[in-house]
Amino acid sequence: MTENLINANGIELWTEEFGDPEHPPVLLVMGSMSQGILWPEEFVGRLVAGGLRVIRYDHRDTGRSGTVDFDAHPYTWHDIKDDVLRVLDAYELDSAHLVGHSAGGLLAQFVAVESPERVRTLTVIGSSPLGGHEGEVIMRALTGQPQPEGSLPPPAPEFTAHYTKVIMSPPAATRGEQIDRMIAEARVLNGTALPFDEDAERRLAERIFERARDLDAAANHRRAAAADPGFEPEGVLGQVKAPTLVIEGTHEPAKPGHGALIAAEIPGAELLMVPDMGHMLAAQVRDVVADAILAHTARG
């Protein structure tokens, strides 16, 4: 395992590499406002044991990556998307297997559309289809607005109830409050089928808190999205050339049913529904997901 700070067009990005540099590379792209360490070590280790060279990274304004004064140096989700390519460039990789979780899956889809030569295979986990404007669906759910006909399926009631409460609550005032909120969020994202390991989640939340240069800077991702309402092109997933695997849990609370919509739009895409899985890579499903990725990348 090797950690590196790379320069991505003036922004420092923390990256971490595992495995043999001669093995096929896979780049793990985590979701919005999320640090790269949310890709669990056990999951990464299984991919490495299966013969892959694994790279994960912290998005700008998260974890050990650089933070910005957004008012002075604003950016958009196009910049966050281009960071995927900047990581590949820093490692001198012409192409790699891309694996994206949640909003990271959205970024990976966009890269696969725009830069097909850079993507050996595409794996999308717990994500929404590019062009579906999932953020608008969530905001309508949180504000009680009706969903227009043809929009994506809304989040589960427990997801909506939790984030509605978050919006109405004042910011966390202490380290303990912040960590408790992270745990409460993880409990919802875990779904309703699998046991929730609060002790393990607390250790992860404490690690997230301690390694962040500025924990509040992650909120800049929301500002980047607001500054870039046209980020998602519509009707382009049919252009994806990379062999694609779409993974969704049967108890997905955030984007239920969105995986099937992605798979329907990408030619030849395979859909894997993981029993009992929620939005998170919980311990009980990590091996299933990792083994599916190993089989998929071997075919690509």
CATH code of 2-299, in short, is: 3.40.50.1820
User: Measured between alpha carbons, how far is 299 from 288 in angstroms, rounded to an integer?
Assistant: 17
Model pLDDT, residue 165: 87
* C-alpha distance from residue 124 to each of 26, 66, 112, 155, 166 (Å): 13, 26, 11, 18, 27
> Cβ neighbours of residue 113 under 8 Å, at least 6 residues apart?
130, 233, 236, 237, 239, 240
The mean of the pLDDT values for the chain is 94
Confidence class of residue 133 from pLDDT cuts 50, 70 and 90? confident
Q: Are 183 and 202 in contact (CB under 8 A)?
A: yes
- Rounded to an integer, the average pLDDT of 273-298 is 98
Question: How does pLDDT run across 145-173, given as a tens digit for each residue?
Answer: 888 888 899 999 999 998 888 888 888 88
User: Measured between alpha carbons, how far is 221 from 176 in angstroms, rounded to an integer?
Assistant: 23
Q: Are 22 and 266 in contact (CB under 8 A)?
A: no
Domain coordinates in residue numbering, the chain: 2-299
In the sheet that holds 11-18, the strands lie side by side as 2-8, 11-18, 53-57, 25-29, 96-101, 119-125, 244-249, 270-274
pLDDT at 300 over 80: no
pLDDT at 240 over 80: yes
Cβ–Cβ contacts within 10 Å for residue 284, how many? 15
Tell me the pTM.
0.96
Cβ–Cβ contacts within 10 Å for residue 164, how many? 14
Would you tell me the crossing angle of helices 157-168 and 134-142 to the nearest 10 degrees? 70
Question: How does pLDDT run across 215-239, given as a tens digit for each residue?
Answer: 999 999 999 988 887 788 999 999 9
Cβ–Cβ contacts within 10 Å for residue 124, how many? 33
Calculate Rg over the CA atoms of the chain: 18
Confidence class of residue 177 from pLDDT cuts 50, 70 and 90? very high
> Backbone phi, then psi, for 72, in 5-degree steps?
-85, -35
